[in-house]
Amino acid sequence: MVRVEALDPELAEDGALRAARLMNPGGVPIPIGLADRVSRRLNGGAVKLLASTSPLRLTYEGLEELNRSLMELGD
């Protein structure tokens, strides 16, 4: 759900129609949904690449744990 406000009722209605056109069926703005999908694919590809080249056979959870450990070392 999106809230559109304007002093002019016609302008508010036009804004609401424009905002509705930019939403996907789930209510997420299309540009944000596309960016989210691309970032998930890139992240998945990076995890897959790291897991396939690692002799440790890292899982996604293992990579998250490694990231947490590296962040703790940085503090």
pLDDT at 1: 67
SS3 labels along 5-64: CCCCHHHHHHHHHHHHHCECCCCCEHHHHHHHHHHHHHHHHHHHHHHHHCCCCCCHHHHH
In the chain, the N- to C-terminal Cα span, in Å, equals: 40
pLDDT at 10: 93
Domain-embedded: residue 41: yes
CB neighbourhood size of 12 (10 A): 14
Give the number of domains in the chain: 1
Q: Which residue has the higher pLDDT, 58 or 35?
A: 35
Domain that holds residue 50: 28-74
Domain-embedded: residue 8: no
Q: Give the pLDDT mean for 64-72.
A: 81
Domain-embedded: residue 21: no
Domain-embedded: residue 6: no
pLDDT band at 3 (very low <50, low <70, confident <90, very high): confident
- Total-model pTM: 0.54
